[in-house]
Chains A and B, each alone.
Chain A
């Protein structure tokens, strides 16, 4: 197992390094001139050149990349447009000349919202997805199964901005059944935190649970008929205990992998949900940065999203290896 963990961690690190290079390349491939944007429309050529120098953009590309990587690890000092030095602590993702703050700080401001949203949505995905899948699988072909199938099909095909606005209108504005969506820091008021995020959790979770439910149903049905489940029952285990101990174990690996991907995507920001419910998370930060040509923030959020996917997929792989000895002993 140890060698597998080591191997998988090294792989993840290599992928991350490649992504930093790609994201950094994106910064340069972009048609806009960061110095010009930072300086503003009223600058003349000499001023732009001065800004370019103070931002370090006149250095060779490789030197800038090394600086960037170094900043990620140890932090660095960056000059603002007017030349004032700004301390950018590790992990430094650069300085946003639009927001006038280091990108890391900007992300840190928006991260709690995204984390809260993602954690709750994931819980909904797991409970709703596995639950529906389990009930459908156990009652395959029944009326319940068909109803749940229809339900998941709706979940898979409906758009968040439709469902989100519709439910917000029906449940919040028209009937007061749900509290008004919004973000209150967990530390300040746990009840308010949960209440404000309840509807976003349900909407984001429901839409993403559909795929999960379909996969769990198929997985469970397949594993239920595996020889080892039959053997377990042949030993004298009741059907229920055999399914709990063997079917669940056999069905889990692909589900863990899908969940890893979902988690990676959610922790990287959920722009549409954030917009629908007026939450200022990382997704909103990223889209605003794209719209405002704020390249350091774009690169920073892209890196964060990639980091989330790589880390959660790696974690999912480790979970699979832990569940299935054939993987870790291969």
Chain B
């Protein structure tokens, strides 16, 4: 236990900078990551350390245990764990603190647990390191106890991390961190990679355990919802500097700094007015004055779309009473199976994996359909089928009344389809060719689908970039010169180049920081109005889907459990599973 007069963690004027070994000129330059941050965590308290990527929040967490790469990092100031100075401490002293008085839980438990050792052995090791007198049997005993405490049967101590689910692995991490009842737990994005229901479960467990052990928690996260749920106090970091710190309740409701307010308001919640503009941290004004489009084909033929902002309650495009509008895209009784991996010997073959089992849905013209579900629910597979990238095992797939189920096998059909259906991908880092300029990326669809000359294509590219809040000056740049949000804008510009009628967006904002997510969502809302787009929006985030979509289909295990308008699904969910998901959304 910490001595009563020491806080669990005291950080004074902490600055951390990374030195690059040497640049082209042989000189070493330092990149500051954290600048003069000061805070304390009292025993038993939860401090939420919140910030966007690059804010230095994880660096603070690592430095608190001296776990940064010592050869490349310069740490100044003071960090005291229960009165013991960490900055400049010897390896021996650090090893005595780590895992015993202060422990750490990392974001990705699959990467953070050793794949080569059983979870029981890893827990027992953590115990024995700080209980030199304890025998193997005693350590095993203690490991089993901790596993049972996090609701994992002791018999599974002999299993390896890859044999557990994501939530169980994170619970194993928690058990390992708390096996020596530390005074301080540093949790770095402990639930970020988890589905909402599992996230809630893990957070609840974390809360119980810290109460039992009287552990103070430094909770490092980008997620305002997690902080709101867990933290007593919060500290907002931006660019390595403190923006503001104080009681969580006060900051969440009445922060004095505009950045804090923007960060908190940027992520839509289940109480946000759907379709409204989300506040952003530094809005670069992504919607410039309307200009007439140098059209790819049907000049100005885009049907005008009602603004979601003005009358958010009545979805325009859902077929109104009496007169059914034929859907722009639909799947009926869609089934997709993937062959199981493993020995290809006859008789030993495992049954194929059923990713999608009999889904039927339709997207009306001008409508945004949200596909929500946890990982493995089949939502991405369904989207890929509609994009003509995945061959359905059974069922019909139609676009504009035409059967497109063969598109995945027929290059000609897929090419035709891609004129009308375009994709926006999740990872803006992986989905842009790093060796092509933005101009080449954005004009590629035009090159494939139109006979426009280079000058014409260029003009169109500039126009498209302006629509997404970029400009002509970006044409010659390469993707690595852009931030994540800017890259996603380039991806959207590319998707819009041929004026598709259906845009399929697969988790388009889940890899982005909250403020950037807000910018991209605002942009997509503007564009769908301007271009009269129909959208298939795939997401695991119920709050985002609620904010953005007219109609929603909830998927689970490859089947639709519920489908309806936004209001139906969110206000009167008919299925227990939907209610569970809603309850778990922070």
Contact = CB atoms under 8 A, between A and B. Distances in A.
Given A226-B111, A237-B129, A325-B116, 20 more contacts: A141-B21, A227-B108, A227-B112, A228-B111, A228-B112, A231-B106, A231-B112, A233-B67, A233-B98, A234-B65, A235-B98, A236-B99, A237-B125, A238-B91, A238-B95, A324-B115, A325-B160, A325-B162, A326-B160, A329-B163
Interface string B99-138: 1100110101001111110000000011001100000000
B297 interface: no
Interface in A198-249: 226-228, 230-239, 246, 249
Nearest to A141: B21
B217 to A, nearest CB: 15
B290 interface: no
Interface string B74-105: 00000000000000000110011111100110
B27 interface: no
Contact of B116 (A234, A238, A249): A249
A84 B320 CA distance: 100
A8 to B, nearest CB: 11
Contact of B176 (A140, A235, A238, A330): A235
Contacts of B163: 329
A228 B129 contact: no
Contacts of B99: 234-236
A231 B114 CA distance: 8
A140 B104 CA distance: 27
Contacts of B100: 236
B22 interface: yes
Given A227-B106, A227-B108, A326-B162, A232 B96 contact: no
B343 interface: yes
A326 to B, nearest CB: 5
Nearest to B162: A326
Interface size class of B (residues with CB under 8 A): 20 to 34
Interface string A297-330: 0000000000000000000000000011110011
A7 interface: yes
The 10 closest A-B pairs by CB, nearest first: A236-B99, A227-B111, A235-B99, A227-B112, A228-B114, A234-B104, A236-B98, A141-B21, A235-B126, A325-B160
Nearest to B123: A235
Given A234-B67, A235-B125, A236-B99, A250 B116 contact: yes
Provide the main secondary structure of the chain A interface: helix
B116 A324 contact: yes
Interface in B373-406: none
Contacts of A237: 95, 125, 129
Interface in B293-318: none
Contact of A235 (B92, B129, B341): B129
12 contacts: A227-B111, A227-B112, A228-B112, A231-B104, A231-B112, A233-B67, A234-B67, A234-B104, A236-B126, A239-B91, A325-B116, A329-B162
A150 B126 CA distance: 41
Contacts of B115: 228, 250, 324-326
A230 B106 contact: yes
A248 to B, nearest CB: 10
A329 B118 CA distance: 12
A252 B54 CA distance: 34
Contacts of A140: 21
Nearest to B108: A227
Nearest to B21: A141
Contacts of B129: 235-237
A246 B341 CA distance: 28
Contact of B130 (A236, A250, A323): A236
A234 B103 contact: yes
B126 A141 contact: no
A234 B106 CA distance: 10
Interface in B217-273: none
Contacts of A228: 111-115
Nearest to A236: B99
B174 to A, nearest CB: 13
B162 to A, nearest CB: 5
A182 B113 CA distance: 52
A85 to B, nearest CB: 44
A325 B163 CA distance: 10
Contacts of B342: 330
Interface in B447-506: none
Contacts of B92: 238
B582 to A, nearest CB: 32
A233 to B, nearest CB: 6
Contacts of B106: 227, 230-231
A283 B495 CA distance: 61
A226 to B, nearest CB: 7
A235 B162 CA distance: 20
Contacts of B91: 238-239
A171 to B, nearest CB: 38
A71 to B, nearest CB: 31
A7 B67 CA distance: 43
A243 B104 CA distance: 19
A183 to B, nearest CB: 42
A222 to B, nearest CB: 13
Nearest to B100: A236
Contacts of B22: 141
Interface in B330-385: 341-343
Contact of B112 (A7, A230, A323, A330): A230
Nearest to B69: A225
A249 B160 CA distance: 15
Contacts of A233: 67, 98
Contacts of B114: 228, 231-232, 246, 249
B371 to A, nearest CB: 31
Most buried by B among A228, A239, A250: A228
A236 B129 CA distance: 7
A28 to B, nearest CB: 32
Nearest to A225: B69
Nearest to A239: B91
Contacts of B126: 235-236
A60 B160 CA distance: 56
A237 B97 CA distance: 11
Interface string B539-578: 0000000000000000000000000000000000000000
B343 A7 contact: yes
Contacts of B67: 230, 233-234
A114 to B, nearest CB: 35
Nearest to B92: A238
Contacts of B111: 226-228
A227 B341 CA distance: 27
Contacts of B130: 236
Contacts of A326: 115, 160, 162
A135 to B, nearest CB: 15
A235 B97 CA distance: 9
A69 B111 CA distance: 49
A199 B162 CA distance: 47
Contacts of A238: 91-92, 95
B96 A231 contact: no
B73 to A, nearest CB: 13
B171 to A, nearest CB: 15
A239 B115 CA distance: 19
A226 B114 CA distance: 9
A55 B326 CA distance: 82
A2 to B, nearest CB: 14
B5 to A, nearest CB: 25
A233 B96 CA distance: 11
Contacts of B162: 325-326, 329
Contacts of A323: 116
A65 B241 CA distance: 79
A250 to B, nearest CB: 7
A235 B101 CA distance: 10
A230 B69 CA distance: 10
A178 to B, nearest CB: 40
A78 to B, nearest CB: 38
